Amino acid sequence: MVSLDENMLVKKIQEGDQLAWSDLVLRYEGRLTNYAQGKIKDHASCQDIVQESFLGFLAKINNFDASRSVQSYLFGILSNKITDLLRRLGRSRAIETPVDSSGNHKVSPFIDPAMGASTWYRGDEKKKLENDALIKCLGLLINQFVQKKDYLKLKSIELIFVNGLSNLEAANILSIDNKTVASHRHYANNFIIDNLKKMNLSPSVFPHLSEQDQNS
């Protein structure tokens, strides 16, 4: 949730207010540095990369989407910069495009038809609209669970969507049965589909939402 205070701060920075800029840096510097230190042990490098992230934020301040949270935006910039740094240092993980025996990058010819919970959605010019709609749907879903104190459902779908676990793995962690997790997943999928329809977006944007229910 974006606070009015945060939006005002960004607006003032967009107007060139130096105090607002200092306030923003002071407000977020500590948490960003702690996040960086979880991945880069050298404190000076952490401070550098956090400062680069702030500069990245400042460079695009006039295009900042006010519906987004400043914290999420800053963590996103920082996370990308950390990945770039680790790649430069040769510490990247096995996430580069695989290469063949000649050293050429292989391009995968397929997208797995058996999609998991983290469902891919398709679109071209409507991607931004769909992205925003999905953020709204998920926000409504999470808010509903929180308001009703239905934390078990929230935990189930967080493990499935965010951590990419199977129903069984989530059930084991939560010490509940597999069918209960499946029903939570079914509920979340239907909630998202219904809300996409209310927003006049076709659920076909997420064709696997209903399929995965049947397969889970």
Partner 1 sequence: MTISNATLDAFIDDHLNEQETIKVEKAVRESPELQALLSSIIASRDMGDHSIGAIWRREHLSCPTREELSSYKEEALDPQRIDYIKFHLETVGCKACKANLSDLNCTKGSLKNADAHEKHRQFLENSKILLPKKQ
CA–CA separation, 96 and 93 (whole Å): 8
Q: In this chain, which of 8, 55, 66, 129 binds partner 1, going by CB under 8 A?
A: 55
Among 72, 104, 202, 204, binds partner 1 (CB under 8 A): 72
- Binding residues with partner 1: total (CB under 8 A): 84
Q: Which stretch binds partner 1 (CB under 8 A): 61-69, 177-185, 194-202?
A: 61-69
Shortest distance, CB of residue 171 to partner 1, whole angstroms?
Answer: 12
The reply to whether 149 sits near partner 1 by the rule CB under 8 A is yes
DSSP letter for 104, please: P
The burial class, CB within 10 Å (0-12 / 13-18 / 19+), for 1 is: exposed
Closer residue to partner 1 in complex, CB, 131/198: 131
For residue 104, the minimal CB distance to partner 1 (Å) is 13
Structure tokens at 45: 């490098």
CB of 183 to partner 1, least distance (A): 18
Q: Which residue lies nearer to partner 1 by CB, 122 or 179?
A: 122
- What three-state secondary structure class fits 96? coil
Answer yes or no: are the C-beta atoms of 141 and 192 closer than 8 Å. yes
Q: Which one of 127-135, 176-184, 193-201 is the stretch in contact with partner 1 (CB under 8 A)?
A: 127-135
Among 29, 44, 30, 46, which Cα is nearest to 82's? Answer: 46
- The interface mask with partner 1, positions 86-115, x = CB under 8 A, is -------xxx-xx-------xxxxxxx-xx
If the CB atoms of residues 21 and 183 are measured against partner 1, the closer one turns out to be 21
**Cβ atoms 160, 167 nearer than 8 A:** yes
Rank residues 90 and 109 by Cβ distance to partner 1 and give the closer one. Answer: 109
Q: What amino acid occupies position 63?
A: N
Structure tokens at 70: 């400043």
| Collapsed DSSP state (helix, strand, coil) of residue 158 | helix
Q: How far is the CB of 109 from partner 1 (least distance, A)?
A: 8
Query: In terms of CB distance, is 1 or 4 closer to partner 1?
Result: 1
Burial status of residue 207 (CB atoms within 10 A of its CB: 0-12, 13-18, 19 or more): middle
Please, which of residues 172-211 interact with partner 1 by CB under 8 A? 173, 192, 206
* Cα separation, 73 vs 97, whole angstroms: 26
State the nearest-atom distance from the C-beta of 200 to partner 1, in Å. Answer: 19
